[in-house]
Amino acid sequence: MLTKPQRLKKGDTVGVIAPASPPNQENLLRGIAFLENELGLKVKLGKYIKNQYGYLAGSDEERLADLHEMFLDKEVKAIFSACGGYGTGRLATSINYEIIKENPKILWGYSDITFLHTAIRQTTGLVTFHGPMLASDIGKADVDPLSKQYFSQLFEPMNIVYSEQHAPLVSMQDGVVTGELVGGNLCLLATTIGTPFEIDTKGKLLLIEDINEEPRSIDRMLNQLHMAGKLEDAAGLIIGDFHACEPQRELTLSLDEVLEYYVKVANKPALSGFKMGHCNPHFSVPFGVKASLDTYAKTITIESGIR
């Protein structure tokens, strides 16, 4: 059963954790200042947010402890990820999902956090949010004001309508479809295949995005989703931003050619050009709620993720 978290209000306390890689601390401070000064929130940091264990922000036990503690803390009303990187998938089998089910609250992040979005939503029914993170996005000097603007969806229930007002959109295959919005980072979605947290796309709108992957790698990951039936099961495809995914080899296919091939294979309505992913601005959306894709009007309408 779908569970929408409670909305935020000014003065609420929110938690900040690093469930993947260690964040840039200077950027993190600026991201925290945004939460405090622009959103009017109080911030509680995870105990291990300054830890580093190679490319991880602490051991699995430490990162898991911060996640559990923030869900258990009655004072904390939302949990924001400092950054992505690597390692959230290592936590999935050790998470106490009953804690999350009994203490539903806003969880916000993207990129490597995709594994948490998928595992938590499919295990507990909690709506989570795919949006820019504090250190890797909001705390940067060149952050676009629009990336900040969409945090407002956490304070007041509102439908999100994404159209060409924000950026040009391209219909790759026409149609009008409705379904639950799921997905995230393509690489992380592919790694769920064959695990207890395998992405369920049946009748759903599937959002994909990625960064620093050549077309040949995008091809390999989309082929894995195709062979697992995930593209064909989806009601429609939402193609987000594929940042720095240009080919580096002389003999290659272009990114567009790869995407067009798998849209044809899926044979489902598809719209590309969404500024969702590793981009600036980055438009945030809730996962797990109903959304409608209209390739003729070039819009996606997404219901509110809070109550």
- CB atoms near residue 202 (< 10 Å): 12
111 included as an active-site residue: yes
- Tokens in use for 117? 């979005």
Q: How far apart are CA 162 and CA 70, in angstroms?
A: 31
166 belongs to the catalytic site: no
**Please, are residues 287 and 199 in contact by the beta-carbon 8 Å criterion?**
no
Q: How far apart are CA 40 and CA 279, in angstroms?
A: 25
Euclidean distance between CA atoms 284 and 277, whole angstroms = 9
Place of tokens 């264990």: 53
Catalytic residue (one of 62, 209, 213, 214)? 209
Given 117, 278, 282, 292, which residue is catalytic? 278
Chain centre distance of CA 226: 21
* DSSP label of 37: I
CA distance 151 to 154: 6
Tokens at residue 271, please?
Answer: 């719209």
Active-site residue flag, 130: no
Instruction: Give the SS3 label for residue 306.
Output: coil
The residue annotated as part of the active site, out of 21, 69, 81, 111, is: 111
Peptide linkage before 281 cis (omega within 30 of 0): yes
The set of catalytic residues is 111, 209, 278
